[in-house]
Structures are given as structure tokens and as C-alpha cells.
Amino acid sequence: MRIRTAGVVALFALALAASGCGGDSDEPAAKDTPKAAGGKLVIWADDKRTAALKPFAEKFGQENGVTVEVQAVSKDLQTNFVTASQQGSGPDVVVGAHDWIGNLVQNGAIDPVQLAAEQKSAFNATAIKAVTFNGQLYGVPYAQENLALIRNTELAPEAPKTIEDLVAAGKTLKASKKATETLCLQVGQNGDAYHIYPLYTSAGGYLFGTGANGDYDPKDLGVGKPESIEAFKKIGALGEKGAGVLKRSIADTNSIATFTGKKCAYLVSGPWAVADVKKANIKYDISAIPGFAGGKEAQPFVGVQAFYVAAKGKNKALAQEFVANYTTTPELAVALYNAEPRPPALTAALDQVKGTDPDLAKFQEAGRNGQVLPAIPAMAAIWDPFGKAEAAVIGGADPTSTITAAGKTISGQIK
Amino acid sequence: MSTPLSGPGSATQAPGREPAGSRPPRSRPSRTRDDAPISLTGLAGKVLLLGLTAGVAVWAAFPLIAAGMWPGLALLAACTAGLFYLYLTRRHIPAKYLVPGTLFLIAFQVFPVLYTASTAFTNFGDGHRGSKDDAIVAIGSSSVTQVPGSAEYALSIATKGDPATGALVFLVTDPGTGAVSVGDTDGLRRLDPADVTVATGGRVTAADGYTVLTVGQASSRSKEITDLVVPTPGGAVRSSGLSRAYEGKAVRAYDAGCDCVRDAETGQTWTADAEAGAFVAADGERLAQGWKVNVGLTNFTRVLTDENISGPFLSSLIWNFAFAIGSTGGTFLLGMLIALVLHSPRMRGTNFYRVLLVLPYAMPSFAMLLAWRDMFNADFGLINSLFGVNVDWFGQAWTARFAVILVQLWLGYPYMFLVATGALQAIPRELTEATSVDGASPWQSFRAVTLPLLLVALSPLLISSFAFNFNNFNAIYLTTEGAPFPADNPANGATDLLITYTYRLAFGGQGAQFGFAAAISLFIFAIVAVVSAVSFRRTRQQEEVYA
């Protein structure tokens, strides 16, 4: 009796287990079936791009008799990709920003992509430069983005030619109580290197020098050099103890909202801000970020979104086929533009959408003199110390000691 | 516990071991055991849980088999068999209760601690994730460049014979001349134009003696295609996807003779450095792709000797204690005071107040921390505009510290209020009434009776709350991010806890340094463990006095 009860329980349990692993035993079978029909391609992208990629990935699958899976990784895509590919459970293709390349390469996570000369020439030259690392092309770009000056044309009809013009116009607006702030440029408590960079370059500063082949050279660090200190003296003069144009209280959380709330006439932001501005029914125009009078041009960072072939993917040949020979078509670039309006990197695709969206051309024009965001791993050491030094100087700290210390911290972290 | 050898109902059965209700008459021990009621729900639950166990085991077995991890598979089988044995026999009653918790303890507590400890002795991190072989492969494949001036071919993948198993060949068409060649590991051979059909664009669609594969067929042999290189005088023809091929050359290759990587074009070499886990050139230049090696105590000594770390360590530690004590003590005092007020029999509408007071506890702390951060904004924040002041809250060390503790107070007092209310209700009112009969003032009665009894119940909670706040990463990272930072030191801010400070050190620089982060975690673990151990010891003494 006792044995029987135990036996019955065990039998039931095993039956349940068998039914439970029914789903599992399907899986090897499922793996076999498409194997006969073709391979499987797994793509990782963030949420927005996943939605845009799905129809095209399916089309690619149907045309070629393969299964294509687009999986959304909504958080920490880069880290997850590196970790997963190390374990052998990563995707075949990943979509991400070009400044990941340095880290992905040092972790052996991506392979170079070989594009034919005529394929390369179909792209914007800056975009191709951005995905080139150590002389190798590591990804296929599809969109690029940069900062520009968005202004409320009701408050500021004219695009300012210099920062000084902008400050003067802002002062008039503040005096007549039409605005409470001059410029919405996000700084935040701990600074924002990406957004201050145009002013930093205009005032003469640089982050990394470029080597003979045009690549950034991590050994030539510009932060802490006399030029950078001079640049931050000019930035500090715009800060809280100076003109009051740059403020730590304006941060990533409230910069766009302050502009759409008509509290400031000028906003420094990228294509992602346009949707909010349109929603607030603000009459706006886009122009290049002005530089200091008598200074250099203000150069924003140019960032590029790209497709990468995973080095440890299970289906590399198919992944290369998809990235090198399918994502280079304008249709896909236009679809991705429709999912999120950033200027396409393919010249043909940009021409196609330019007509319906005049903002694109303006953003592109504003980024014409931009600098490619450095993809070298050393860039990771810049963001935090540089931003904090910026915040400190804007708060009124002494630029010389602050920037010298930041330069020391950064060079200490670069191997 | 009775030994397994003594059968059920044997004379050695310790009395009182079985639940009183099911104690059998001694005369028919074995039958009564079976007669112990087997309820249908109990049986179903057993079947379900054991079935789930078996299901999970089968699910976990496949990847283990695929990876050839036989010790892991043996462990899995042993665990599953052990669980089945345990719950199918009627013996080992205490083990039935203890085993699940113990298994979870091992899986979720002991294993992570051991894993962290073992990581602390390596250089595991970005650029040092895999093995040396991985690094060599990555260096080789990232150095493949197109031979200058060479042709770009249109490519078709074909086999001799069966598409799934036949030997792979590349059918490549030179776009300039239209000449078709077949390529395999022996090299390229020209094919007779009469034997091949070429589509527009140059790709071969059919060839005598070969089966041209569809994309689907080809992609199922992806690995072989990527590995196939067709040697040519200038380099090798390699596939770029399934429809194009190019003549490329791996410029850098590993040479086992000198244990180094050699660049074929410049002749430069990078020698393997087994201590750093990287290929290093004579001038100190490193190749980016490194590998994971054991670095001994380097990570630990770095914590102690690196000035950037040991310099501000003490001030951070002091603030860290102040923050944890301030948060825990403040929430406890406020929570207890409110609990005392609401415990008073003269108070009306206590339930209403209780609901109101618990509200902050019901809201997600993530969102609340972000909302508080915005409220402290110097120019646009609610707090400055409400009180008509102009304080740069997160811009000055002391206001920032005050602000984060204030936020913790708001977030944490409902918890203390709840537990204090519960503990107060467990203290008999007769005790306080007795003190008032003896002529004690309310303060004396609180001090001598209520507070000690409260502390006996709440001390363990206070200790765990302290340990939690000591490592309260979110409280800092979602509000000040450690700000304000001294102008000359962007690494360590006035409100930085050890955990946020070390997070910045380990992940803020050139990629993630997991080995270093693990070493610091062990230091923090040691501090928290010592504090907790001492506190628990004191609590026990207190219990002995008051219990």
C-alpha cells in the first residue's frame, strides 16, 4: 500500500514532468525543422527599432527561406550583448550606437564588415568614418544624429550668429519678462559632456588628438591642457556666477520641458526633442549651435546608429549577408526613420525623406562640421570626470584647478 | 532523531517526536502509518510540485548535455533523485522542511558570495572576459583586410553532391571579366563558361557537377562557409555574407613559437603577458583584446594603495555610517513616535491616520526618489518655491547630505511605524498601568518599560535596516549621484556612499572591471558583517536582561 501510494505519486509526477518537458522536447525538433528549410538569424535591438525592423526582417526571412527573430532588449543592450556573446547565447546581429565599437572590439564581440567600394559610397562619409575603427569597418550605419540649436521663432525670430548674440537676445527677453531663462542647455548636478561639447570646441578645447590615420589617439588627451582651461574660463563666464546662461538646475529631466513651457527661447538638443516641441505647438526653427565671437566653430558630436555582426553568432554567414547586403538598402533606412525620426545615413534614403521633413536637412546642416563621437574605449573615462568638472566650473569653481584635476583623473583611468 | 535503521514503531522511537494527533496505537504501527489520512489536495500538491521539479530538471539537463558539463549534470541528477526520495518516503520529516530552504540558500546566497570572492582574484572585466584562445581568434578576425586593388566577387555557395553534407565550394564571378571560378581549400580554378549559367549581377545559378545552394540551405552550413578560405597568391578569397566574396588577408596572426602576435605588414610583435592577460609590445602598447587571468591579491592591494581610493575612503566611510545611522535612527524615532501617538486610547480616527501614514510605503521608491530629486532642484524645484528660499540643495555638501537623509526619512518611516505599532500592541497595557499606579510619570514608564520591550522586538529589524541603508545604492544614485563633488576630485562626492563610490570606480572608467568591483564588495561585506555581528551580540545580551 505504502509503496503503491509512493509509486502512484511518482508516476503522476513523471507524467507531469513529461508533459512539462513536452514543450522542451519540441524545441530540438523545432530547431531541426528550420534547419532543413534554412538557418535562423537572431537580431537584438532596442524597443523602438525592434518594431521597425520586424516587417523587414520577416521579409528577408521569407525571401530567403530562413527564420529571422528580432528580439527587443530594452535595457543595457550593449552590456547584455557582450555578456551573452561571451557565454555563447548572444544574437547574430546587434543594432546600436557607433561609440560602442571600441568596447565591443576589445571584448571580441563583433567582426569587421566587408563592404564593396560602391556600397560604401552610398553612405554619408561622416557615417562611414564613425563606424571605422582601427582602419576597419565594423558596422553598417543607418542613421546619424547631432545636436543643434532649436529656437522658438515667436520669441527669437533670428538665428543667433554667436553665443554673445544669443546671450544679448536672451537678456532682452528676460528683461521684458517674455522668458525666465536664456538658454536651455542641459547641465545637471554632474554635468553633461555631450551637450557642452560644441561650446567647448568653439572656445578652443579638444578631447583627443587625431593620429596620422585620422583615428582618435588616446595618448593625446586634450583635457587639462592650457586650451581646455581657456575654454572652460569662457564657459565659466556663462555660468551661475557669471552671465547666468548655463545653470546646473537645467538638467536632462527638465531641459526640453522648460523650452516647450516657453520659459526659454533657445534649446540645445537633438532630433529626439522635435516630437515634444511639435506636440507643444511651438513655432520653431533649427540652426547650427553658434560659437563664441572670434572663436572656432562650435562642433557638435555626431553619433551614428549601426548594425553589427556578432563575432560569436551561430549563423555568421547569414548575419553578414543581412548586414552587408540587405541593411544597405534605402527601404530599410526609410522604415527605421519612420520609427524614430533621425536622419538616415544612406544618402538615397535621406533624399527620399528630406522632402516631407525639412527638419532633417537642418539637423544635418547643423552637424555638417560636427566631430564623430570617439569610439575608442578611452572615451568611457571622459564622460564622468569631464561632466563633473563642467558642472563645478558652471557652479563657479576655479577653471584652472578644476580642469587640471579632471585631466589627471581621466589620464589615470586610461590604460 | 531516530536512526534510519530503527523501523517504524520500533521500541527506540523517541517519544514525542511525532505530532500528537497522529500518534498510532503501539500495537499496529506499520498499518497506522499508512492509515494516516492522505488528503486529495495534499496528494495533488505533491504530484504537482514533484512534477515541476522533474520538469525543471529535464529543462536544465538539455543545455548541460549540449555543453558537455557532466559534473553539473551529475549534480542535477543527484539533487533531483534526492528530492524525489525525500518526498516519496515517510521518513526524514525534519529534512522535508529544511531541504528546500537550504537548497535556495545555497543557490541564491552561498553561491553568489563564493563566485564574487573567486572573481575578486581575477582581472575579469571589459577587454578581459574570455580565454586566451578567444582573444587570439578575435585579434586574427579583426585584422582581416581586403587586399588593395583586388577584385570584389559575386558569390554562390555550392556543393559537390548533397546540399546538406557535400564538400563546400565557392563559385565566384569576377565582375570585371565575367570569368567564373570554383574555389575550395586547394585554391581557385577557372570553370568553362559553357558549363555555368550566370544570372544578371554575376551570380552563378547553376554549374555542371555542382549543386548551387539556396540561402536557406547555405545558412544552415554557416560555420563551414565562414571558415572556408580559398588561398590565392595575394591572400585568400573569403565570403562576405552569402552573395559576395573578396580577397582578404589576416594581417595579424598568433605565433606559438614566440607566444606572440605578429603583424605581417609591419613586422611588429606583441608578446603574451600572462600576468596582465594581454599581448604587449616592446614599447608597452597593448592589443585591446585581452583575456582573463588570475591576478592574486592585486585588486585588494589596489584598494589599499591607490591614493584615489584610499584617500577619500575614510571620509566616505564616516559619512556612510552617518547616513545609515541617520536613516535608520531617524525613521525609527519618527515611526515610533507616531505609533505611540496612535496607540494612545484617547486618539480618535486612528485607522484613517494609519492609512494616510502608510501611503509613502505603498509608492514605488524608485519613482519617489526621482520625484524628490526634482523637488530639490535649485531653480525649478517645489521646495525652494514653496518656502520662498534659494538654497542650492545638491550644490553644497551639508544641504545635500541633509536632503538625502530627509528623503530616506520620508521613504522609511512608514515601515518603522508599522512594526512599532505591531510591537506596541504586543506589550500588555497592564504593565504601563502598573507603573502609573506606582507613581511613575509617563516618560518614566516609557523609558523603563515600553522602550526596552519595544527594542527587544525591533532590534533585529533595526540591524537589518542599518545593513540595508549602509548599501542603499538607489537612495544616492537616483537623487544626487554623489554630488556635490569637490572641484578638484570628480571621483568622490560629498554624499557618496562606499557602494556608489566604488561603483563609479569599477564601472566609470575604461569599461567594467568586475574583478576590482568584487574585491571592493568583499571589503564592504566585511564591514557590514562586523557591524551586524556586534549588534546581534549586544541584542542577545539585551534580550537576556529583559526577556
CATH number at residue B113: 1.20.58
Average pLDDT over residues B257-277: 90
CATH of the domain at B452: 1.10.3720.10
Residue B348 lies in a domain: yes
Residues A193 and A236 in one domain: yes
Helix, strand, or coil here: B421?
Answer: helix
Residue A94 and residue A81 in contact, taking contact as beta carbons nearer than 8 Å: yes
- In DSSP terms, which residues pair with A70 in a beta bridge? A43
Contacts of A12 in chain B (CB under 8 A): 47, 51
In a domain, A25, yes or no: no
B173 and B227 in a single domain? The answer is yes
- Structural domain includes residue B6: no
Q: How many residues does chain A have?
A: 415
Residue A31 domain flag: no
Q: Is residue B4, in this structure, part of any structural domain at all?
A: no
CATH of the domain at B237: 2.40.430.10
As a whole number, mean pLDDT of residues B345-349 equals 85
pLDDT in tens, B286-341: 888 999 999 989 999 988 888 777 778 888 889 999 999 999 999 999 999 999 99
Q: Which of B226, B250, B274 is the last residue of a domain?
A: B250
- Whole-number pLDDT of residue A164: 94
| Element at B395 (helix H, strand E) | none
CB proximity under 8 Å: B 128-187 to A? 129-130, 134-135, 137-138, 141-146, 152
Which of A347, A366, A385 finishes a domain? A366
B76 lies in the same domain as B182: no
State the pairing for strand pair A264-269/A181-184.
parallel
Cross-chain Cβ contact B487/A402 below 8 Å: yes
Inter-residue contact A225 to A407 (CB < 8 Å): yes
Residues B411 and B482 occupy one common structural domain: yes
Task: Specify the number of domains making up chain B.
Answer: 3
Question: Is A8 within the bounds of a domain?
Answer: no
- Taking Cα atoms as reference points, which of A4, A25, A20, A24 lies closest to residue B50? A20
Boundary residue ending a domain (B206, B235, B250): B250
State the 10-residue block means of pLDDT for chain A, 415 residues long.
54 55 40 52 89 86 89 89 90 93 92 89 90 91 93 94 94 92 92 95 93 84 94 95 92 92 94 91 94 93 94 91 88 84 89 88 90 89 91 92 91 80
Shared domain for A170 and A50, answered yes or no, is no
Domain membership of residue A17 (yes or no) is no
Residue A117 sits in the same domain as residue A178: no
* pLDDT computed for residue A21 by the predictor: 45
CATH number of the domain at A130, please.
3.40.190.10
Q: How far is CA B514 from CA A240, B107, B110, B128, in A?
A: 39, 21, 19, 10
Let me know whether A202 and A276 are in one domain: yes
- What are residue B366's phi and psi, to 5 degrees? -55, -55
In a domain, B1, yes or no: no
- The C-alpha cell that represents B254 in the structure block: 598568433
Contacts of B290 in chain A (CB under 8 A): 106
**Domain range enclosing B177:** 144-250
Provide the pLDDT for residue B546: 63
Cα distances (Å, whole numbers) of residue A206 to A163, A196, A198, A349, B71: 19, 12, 10, 33, 55
Burial A147-175 (b: 16+ CB within 10 A, else e): bbbbbbeebbeebbebbbebbebbeebbe
* Per-residue confidence (pLDDT) for residue A341, from 0 to 100: 81
Is A231 within a domain? yes
Q: Which of B119, B153, B171 marks a domain boundary?
A: B119
Q: What's residue A98's pLDDT?
A: 93
Do B435 and B348 lie in one domain? The reply is yes
Q: What is the mean pLDDT of chain B?
A: 85
Tell me the whole-structure pTM to 2 decimals.
Answer: 0.81
Is the CB of B50 less than 8 angstroms away from the CB of A10?
yes
Q: Is A119 on the interface with B (CB under 8 A)?
A: no
Share of chain B residues as helix, strand and coil, in percent rounded to the nearest 5: 55, 15, 30
Query: Residues A195, A242: one domain?
Result: yes
Burial level of A143, CB count in 10 A (0-12/13-18/19+)? Answer: buried
Beta strands across the sheet bearing B260-263: B252-255, B260-263, B269-273, B278-281
- What is d(CA A10, CA A20) in angstroms, rounded to the nearest whole number? 15
SS3 sequence, chain A? Answer: CHHHHHHHHHHHHHHHHHHHCHHHHHHHHHHHHHHHHCCEEEEEECHHHHHHHHHHHHHHHHHHCCEEEEEECCCCHHHHHHHHHHHCCCCCEEEEEHHHHHHHHHCCCEECCCCCHHHHHCECHHHHHHCEECCEECEEEEEEEECEEEEECCCCCCCCCEHHHHHHHHHHHHHCCCCCEEEECCCCCCCCHHHHHHHHHHCCCCCEEECCCCCEEEEEECCCCHHHHHHHHHHHHCCCCCCCCCCCCCCCCCHHHHHHCCCEEEEEECHHHHHHHHHCCCCEEEECCCECCCCCCCCCEEEEEEEEEECCCCCHHHHHHHHHHCCCCHHHHHHHHHHCCCCECEHHHHHHHHCCCHHHHHHHHHCCCCEECCCCHHHHHHHHHHHHHHHHHHCCCCHHHHHHHHHHHHHHHCC
Distance from CA of A385 to the nearest CA of B (A): 5
A 329-348 → B contacts, CB under 8 A: none
Q: Mean pLDDT, to the nearest integer, of B127-138?
A: 91
Q: Report the DSSP pairing between strands A216-221 and A148-152.
A: unpaired
**Local confidence band at B30 (pLDDT 50, 70, 90 cut-offs):** very low
CA distance A361 to A377: 31
Instruction: Give the best residue of A3, A107, A245, A253 to mutate against chain B (max B CB count within 10 A).
Output: A107
With respect to residue B377, please indicate whether it lies within any of the assigned structural domains.
yes
Q: Do B518 and B462 fall within a single domain? A: yes
Cβ atoms within 10 A of the Cβ of B199, count?
A: 12
CB A149 within 8 A of CB A290: yes
Query: What separation, in Å, do the N-terminal and C-terminal C-alpha atoms of chain A show?
Result: 72
**Do the beta carbons of residue B225 and residue B171 sit within 8 Å?**
no
Whether residue A88 lies inside any domain: the answer is yes
Q: What is the mean pLDDT of residues B374-384?
A: 90
Residue of B nearest to A258 (CA): B380
pLDDT digits (tens, 9 = 90+) for B228-243: 889 888 888 998 888 8
Domain identity same for A180 and A289: yes
B501 close to A (CB below 8 A): no
Beta-bridge partner residues of B182: B171, B189
For the cut 50, the answer to whether the pLDDT of residue B28 exceeds it is no
**In a shared domain, residues A255 and A396:** yes
Decide: A208 and A222 in contact? Cβ < 8 Å. yes
**What CA–CA distance (Å, rounded) separates A48 from B529?**
44
Residues B349, B467 share a domain? yes
CA angle A405, A407, A412 (to 5 degrees): 95
B156 shares a domain with B91: no
Evaluate whether A102 touches A379 at the Cβ level (below 8 Å): yes
CB contact at 8 A, B267 and B277:
no
- Domain hosting A169: range is 148-299+376-413
Q: Are residues B108 and B159 in the same domain?
A: no
Cell numbers placing A37: 528549410
Q: Is the pLDDT of residue B34 over 70?
A: no
**How many beta-carbon pairs under 8 angstroms link A with B?**
260
B213 occurs within a structural domain: yes
Cα B98 from Cα B115, distance rounded (Å): 24
Residue A25 has what pLDDT? 38
Q: Of B362, B351, B361, B469, whose CA–CA distance to B421 is shortest?
A: B351
For CA atoms B165, B169, B170, B173, the dihedral sign is negative
Residue A323 grid cell: 548586414
Same domain, B441 and B512: yes
The pLDDT assigned to A16 comes to 56
- The verdict on A139 and A155 lying in the same domain is no
* Whether A47 and A79 share a structural domain: yes
Q: Is residue A15 part of a domain?
A: no
Fill in the amino acid letter for B435: T
DSSP single-letter state for residue B295 = -
Q: What is the pLDDT of residue A292?
A: 95
Cα(B62)–Cα(B71) distance, rounded to whole angstroms?
Answer: 14
Same domain for A174 and A153? yes
Return contacts of B332-338, CB within 8 angstroms, 24+ apart. Answer: B332/B416, B332/B420, B332/B458, B332/B462, B332/B465, B334/B409, B334/B413, B334/B416, B334/B417, B335/B412, B335/B413, B335/B414, B335/B415, B335/B416, B335/B417, B335/B418, B335/B419, B335/B420, B336/B416, B336/B417, B336/B420, B336/B454, B338/B413, B338/B417
**Domain check: are B192 and B310 in the same one?**
no
DSSP letter for each residue of B487-541 = TT-TT--TT--HHHHHHHHHHSSSS--HHHHHHHHHHHHHHHHHHHHHHHHHHHH
Shared-domain flag, residues A166 and A264: yes
- Say whether B511 and A318 touch across the interface (CB within 8 A): no
The three-state secondary structure class of B314 is helix
B396 in the same domain as B335: yes
| Out of B47, B144, B378, closest to residue A12 by CB | B47
- Residue A74, chain B, CB below 8 Å: the answer is no
Residue B292 covered by a domain: no
How many other β-carbons are positioned within 10 Å of the β-carbon of residue A285?
A: 17
Residue-wise pLDDT for B491-520, tens only, equals 788 999 988 988 887 877 667 889 988 998
Q: Which residues of A touch B144 (CB under 8 A)?
A: 112
| Cα B194 to Cα B428: distance, rounded to the nearest angstrom | 105
CA dihedral of residues A228, B511, A109, A115 (deg, nearest 10): -10
Predicted-assembly ipTM surpassing the 0.85 threshold: no
Residue B169: strand pairing partners: B158
Residue of A nearest to B165 (CA): A36
Pairing between strand A371-372 and A301-310? Answer: parallel
> In chain A, how many domains are there?
2
B217 touches chain A (CB under 8 A): yes
In the DSSP assignment, the letter for residue B150 is P
- Tell me if B286 is assigned to some domain: no
Asked if A294 and A385 sit in the same domain, the reply is yes
Parallel, antiparallel or unpaired: strands A132-133 and B278-281:
unpaired
pLDDT in tens, B45-85: 888 999 999 999 999 999 889 888 899 999 999 999 999 99
Chain B nearest-CA distance from A160, in A, is 26
Residue A21 in any domain: the answer is: no
